[in-house]
């Protein structure tokens, strides 16, 4: 038995190819929309993908199971409560599926979502005993996946389900079982996850504080799983709806170079903050083209918006378009030069060092901390106000137009995005180059008061 993990660092999403090379077959667990990645891996291993197992209806990325089923004669598997609108095999708790000499047992594990299932796998060439658990969001490395994504009405019920899932379904399994979760570090589907991308049940029983609390009273467990959660990106409900229906294969047509951009199109500039700040097209949003590009777009740009990527590098435009397709942003009109056209006004956002930012604050500028709540709680500039970057567009009216706004995050990338949003709404903005890391390194005062100003 071979297991190959594919990890999207920007989304914190792990998917798996599980192969029986002797039988020449393999299955997937929670694949995303970049299905060529899995087909290439299967070809390299000399196996045929015959099945795809979904642990739940995902909020954070578009599943590739339906698209793969459109191209290959595979069977998609999910729990009895999934209710997909496309053809799939629905499995009650305890159902078993054989793929070569690999036995997959479906375990109902509600909590992260109502329909959630995990998959226990036995390599029958070794033993009938299960050796691997593909846990989805039911058990993560040092955490569990959040239970509040479907709204406050369901959150309490799902919290009780997650509590029961740990106590009665997962923590009763043997210590030696290897655990491969779907959500890892960087996922907004959970609070901070440990850096390792796999674990064992025995290690989690000993070191996962949420798992330990599941052995105690529910109230303590409920309070702990609500701590440190990041803001859920606004696109999440739309992606869940897409996955319920099943997404088709993403377009592979090459993006055109666009010379004229209509006013209804969102302009995304992926250059580094200091380059963007030196001069950019007015109205452009600075979403740095790194691993987190897609989730940052999904957190700040309305779902379904037409987009043009401001780059002259066609290969970069294609890579970023592929990232956006994984979260369901398919209306990418093309790519265009990030440089203003002749006669077009140039936008500029000043990049400040930490001591200059502190001096501006002392002179009356507003320091705006755009990090997550857990980052704010761990330490922030004493004079700052706190609005997570995902919420800035909706709360921009809370910020004065007659004072400069100096934005900061951890390193200066999220804050540059916020600065570009506020620039578009008429604010005078500057960005703290190097973010709060630079603030600390300059030995400036740090507050740990948890109440946001």
Residue 452 falls within a domain, yes or no? no
Residue 448 falls within a domain, yes or no? no
Q: What is the mean pLDDT of residues 144-172?
A: 96
Residue 215 falls within a domain, yes or no? yes
188 and 54 in one domain?
yes
CA distance 432 to 399: 17
CA distance 110 to 170: 11
DSSP symbol at 425: T
Ramachandran region, residue 293 (left: φ > 0; alpha: ψ -120 to 50; beta: rest): alpha
94 and 19 in one domain?
yes
Residue 69 falls within a domain, yes or no? yes
**pLDDT bracket for residue 451 (50, 70, 90):** low
Domain endpoint, select from 299, 316, 347? 347
Q: Judge residue 94's burial from the number of C-beta atoms within 10 Å of its C-beta, 0-12 exposed, 13-18 middle, 19 or more buried.
A: exposed
Residue 72 falls within a domain, yes or no? yes
pLDDT for the residue numbered 241 = 97
pLDDT for the residue numbered 326 = 97
Q: Which domain range does residue 299 map to?
A: 251-347
Q: What separation, in Å, do the N-terminal and C-terminal C-alpha atoms of the chain show?
A: 54
95 and 151 in one domain?
yes
The pLDDT tens digits for 325-364 are 999 999 999 999 999 988 889 999 999 999 999 999 999 9
The pLDDT tens digits for 365-393 are 999 999 999 999 999 999 999 999 999 99
Lowest mean pLDDT among 21-25, 239-243, 258-262, 330-334: 258-262
Residue 245 falls within a domain, yes or no? no
Residue 307's φ and ψ, nearest 5 degrees, are -130, 140
User: Which CATH number characterizes residue 408's domain?
Assistant: 3.40.250.10
200 and 80 in one domain?
yes
162 and 105 in one domain?
yes
219 and 91 in one domain?
yes
312 and 227 in one domain?
no
pLDDT for the residue numbered 452 = 57
Q: Does residue 450 carry a pLDDT above 90? A: no
Interhelix angle for 293-300 vs 314-326, to 10°?
A: 60
Domain endpoint, select from 306, 322, 347? 347
User: Which CATH number characterizes residue 28's domain?
Assistant: 3.60.15.10
Residue 415 falls within a domain, yes or no? yes
354 and 305 in one domain?
no
369 and 341 in one domain?
no
Q: What is the mean pLDDT of residues 402-409?
A: 98
DSSP symbol at 257: B
Residues 311 and 329: beta-carbon distance below 8 Å: no
208 and 84 in one domain?
yes
Residue 51 falls within a domain, yes or no? yes
Please name which of 369, 379, 272, 268 lies closest in space to residue 324, comparing C-alpha atoms.
268
Which residues have a Cβ under 8 Å from the Cβ of 252 and sit 6 or more positions away?
none
The pLDDT tens digits for 64-121 are 999 999 999 999 999 999 999 999 999 999 999 999 999 999 999 999 999 999 999 9
Q: Does residue 56 carry a pLDDT above 90? A: yes
65 and 157 in one domain?
yes
Strand partners, 132: 121, 178
217 and 90 in one domain?
yes
C-alpha separations of 350 from 34, 93, 288, 427 in Å: 38, 57, 17, 13
pTM of this structure: 0.94
**pLDDT bracket for residue 453 (50, 70, 90):** low
Rg (CA), the chain: 23
CA distance 232 to 187: 10
Q: Judge residue 75's burial from the number of C-beta atoms within 10 Å of its C-beta, 0-12 exposed, 13-18 middle, 19 or more buried.
A: middle
CA distance 52 to 381: 48
Mean pLDDT of the chain: 96
C-alpha separations of 92 from 56, 76, 97 in Å: 13, 14, 12
Task: Give the number of domains in the chain.
Answer: 3
How many other CB atoms sit within 10 Å of the CB of residue 415? 30
Residues in the chain: 453
What are 207's two structure tokens? 């070191």
Q: What is the mean pLDDT of residues 393-400?
A: 94
Domain endpoint, select from 204, 238, 272? 238
Q: Which residue has the tokens 């989304």?
A: 11
Residues 446 and 381: beta-carbon distance below 8 Å: yes
């Amino acid at each position: 038995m071979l297991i190959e993990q594919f990890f999207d660092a920007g989304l914190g999403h792990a998917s798996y190819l599980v192969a029986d090379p002797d039988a020449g077959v393999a299955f997937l667990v929670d694949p995303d929309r970049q299905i060529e990645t899995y087909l290439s891996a299967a070809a390299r291993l000399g196996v045929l993908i015959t099945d795809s197992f979904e642990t739940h209806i995902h909020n954070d990325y578009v599943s590739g199971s339906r698209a793969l089923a459109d191209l290959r004669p595979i069977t998609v598997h999910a729990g009895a409560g999934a209710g997909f609108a496309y053809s799939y095999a629905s499995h009650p708790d305890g159902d078993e599926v054989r793929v070569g000499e690999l036995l997959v047992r479906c375990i109902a594990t509600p909590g992260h979502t109502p329909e959630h299932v995990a998959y226990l796998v036995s390599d029958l060439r070794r033993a009938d005993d299960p050796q691997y658990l593909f846990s989805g969001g039911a058990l993560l490395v040092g955490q569990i996946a959040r239970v509040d994504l479907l709204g406050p009405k369901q959150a309490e019920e799902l919290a009780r389900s997650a509590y029961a899932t740990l106590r009665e379904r997962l923590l009763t399994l043997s210590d030696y079982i290897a655990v491969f979760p779907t959500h890892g570090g960087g996922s907004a589907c959970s609070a901070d996850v440990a850096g390792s991308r796999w674990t064992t049940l025995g290690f989690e029983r000993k070191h996962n504080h949420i798992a330990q609390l599941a052995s105690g009273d529910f109230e303590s467990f409920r309070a702990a799983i609500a701590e440190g959660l990041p803001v859920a990106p606004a696109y999440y409900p739309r992606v869940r709806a897409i996955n319920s229906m099943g997404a088709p294969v993403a377009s592979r047509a090459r993006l055109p170079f666009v010379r004229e951009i209509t006013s209804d199109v969102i302009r995304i500039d992926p250059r580094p903050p200091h380059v963007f700040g030196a001069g950019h097209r007015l109205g452009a949003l600075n979403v740095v083209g790194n691993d987190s590009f897609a989730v940052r777009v999904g957190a700040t740009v309305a779902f379904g918006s037409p987009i043009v990527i401001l780059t002259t590098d066609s290969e970069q435009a294609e890579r970023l378009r592929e990232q956006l397709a994984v979260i369901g942003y398919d209306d990418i009109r093309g790519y265009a030069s990030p440089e203003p056209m002749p006669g077009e006004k140039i936008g500029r956002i000043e990049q400040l060092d930490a001591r200059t930012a502190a001096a501006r604050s002392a002179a009356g500028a507003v320091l705006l901390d755009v990090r997550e709540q857990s980052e704010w709680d761990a330490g922030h500039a004493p004079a700052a106000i706190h609005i997570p970057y995902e919420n800035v567009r909706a709360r921009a009216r809370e910020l004065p137009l007659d004072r400069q706004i100096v934005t900061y995050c951890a390193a200066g990338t999220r804050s540059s995005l916020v600065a570009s949003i506020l620039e578009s709404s008429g604010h005078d903005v500057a960005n703290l180059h190097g973010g709060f890391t630079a603030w600390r390194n300059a030995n400036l005062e740090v507050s740990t008061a948890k109440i946001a100003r």
